[in-house]
Amino acid sequence: MPFSQQRVVRSPTGADLNLFVRQADSSPRAVVQINHGLAEHAGRYDRFAGFLSARGFHVYVHDHRGHGTTRAPDAPLGRFADKDGPAKVIADVDAIRDLIAREQPDLPVILFGHSMGASVALNYLLRHSDRIHAAAIWNGNFSQGLLGQVALGILAWERMRLGSDVPSRLLPKLTFQAWGKAVPDHRTLFDWLSRDDAEVAKYIADPLCGWDASISMWRDVVAMALNGGKDAAFAGIRRDLPVAIVGGEKDPASDYGKGITHLANRMRKMGFSNLVSKVYPGTRHESLNEANRDTVMDDFANWADAVLKARRFGPSQEP
| pLDDT (tens digit per residue) in 291-307 | 999 999 999 999 999 99
Is 10's pLDDT higher than 50? yes
Amino acid at 61: V
Residue pair 104/242 in contact by the 8 Å Cβ criterion? no
**Backbone angles phi and psi of 227, in degrees to 5:** -65, -35
Delimit the domains of the chain by residue range.
Answer: 5-144+228-310
Residue pair 55/194 in contact by the 8 Å Cβ criterion? no
Q: In what order do the strands lie in the sheet with 243-248?
A: 5-10, 16-22, 57-62, 30-35, 109-114, 134-138, 243-248, 275-280
pTM: predicted TM-score of the whole model, two decimal places: 0.95
Alpha-carbon distance of 208 to 48, in angstroms, equals: 19
Is 80's pLDDT higher than 60? yes
Residue pair 189/181 in contact by the 8 Å Cβ criterion? yes
Residue 47: which residues within 8 A CB-CB, separation 6 or more?
1, 288
Average of pLDDT values for 74-80?
Answer: 96
Q: What is the pLDDT of residue 147?
A: 78
Average of pLDDT values for 249-275?
Answer: 97
Residue pair 48/54 in contact by the 8 Å Cβ criterion? no
Superfamily of domain 5-144+228-310: Alpha/Beta hydrolase fold, catalytic domain (3.40.50.1820)
Sign of CA dihedral 138, 230, 61, 24: positive
Is 317's pLDDT higher than 70? no
User: What is the residue-averaged pLDDT of the chain?
Assistant: 94
Is 315's pLDDT higher than 50? no
Is 27's pLDDT higher than 80? yes
Is 126's pLDDT higher than 90? yes
Q: What is the pLDDT of residue 316?
A: 45
